[in-house]
Amino acid sequence: MNKRAFDYGLFFNELKNDPRKREIAIRYENVFGSQKNLTIEDQPFFQNYLSQFSIPFKIVISNDCPDDFDWELMIRYILGSVSTDYKLILDEDWKNHPKGTPTVHIAICVSTAEKNECKMLDELFDLQVLEIFKAYTYEQIKLSLVIKEESDEYKDNELSMKDGLENQLLVYKCREFMMHKEIQSIRNKKNTSIKK
């Protein structure tokens, strides 16, 4: 089945035509070159950062969304985002019958001064998914500019945005490790109860 790729070129043109975001798009092209005919996979933020995120579990996606979305890219965006947090939650059916590849839900969490709100990935509608693609792509474009400007301007800065992204990757690796431990614990309990 072909994945419906996020149309990066169309999105970048939208940025250039948006009066509030045009400056970021122009700065991005000044730093990283013309974006004509390029894809997400061509971007430094994908090659140097997002490509390091992958998840070895089956992720539950919405029944209301086409299954031909590039869910792998969406998951990389969620795991690599610095503006939102996420939770990995084992599926209850899998917990009760732990066979095969574990099934995991992802909750996308946004904290504000008033509350912490989480939305399950499998509860999203297709338009919400497209908006999330746009928001996360814009976030990565802006972060790429900050990192480039920091490296040029603040070479001796103690804590840079690049360090922040490296910490985000470490957080993911820790969460993935903890998920593997939980999965192994469930499998061990299930095996122990079968042997009794």
Question: Which residues make beta-bridge pairs with 89?
Answer: 105
Summarize pLDDT for 91-145 with one digit per residue, the tens: 999 999 888 888 999 999 987 777 788 899 999 888 888 899 999 999 999 999 9
Which residues neighbour 68 within 8 Å (Cβ) at sequence distance 6 or greater? 1, 2, 3, 4
Residue 1 lies in a domain: no
Is residue 80 scored above 90 in pLDDT? yes
Residue 111 lies in a domain: yes
The span from the CA of 11 to the CA of 80, in Å, is: 20
Does pTM surpass 0.95? Answer: no
Q: State the virtual CA torsion across 121, 127, 129, 134 in degrees, nearest 10.
A: -150
Query: Domain residues for 137?
Result: 8-195
* Selected residue with higher pLDDT from 83 and 190: 83
- pLDDT above 70 covers a percentage of the chain that reads 88
Instruction: Say how many domains are in the chain.
Output: 1
Summarize pLDDT for 151-164 with one digit per residue, the tens: 655 555 545 667 77
Residue 32: what residue type?
Answer: F
User: What is the average per-residue pLDDT within 185-189?
Assistant: 88
Residue 172 lies in a domain: yes
Residue 178 lies in a domain: yes
Residue 71 lies in a domain: yes
Residue 41 lies in a domain: yes
Residue 3 lies in a domain: no
Residue 143 lies in a domain: yes
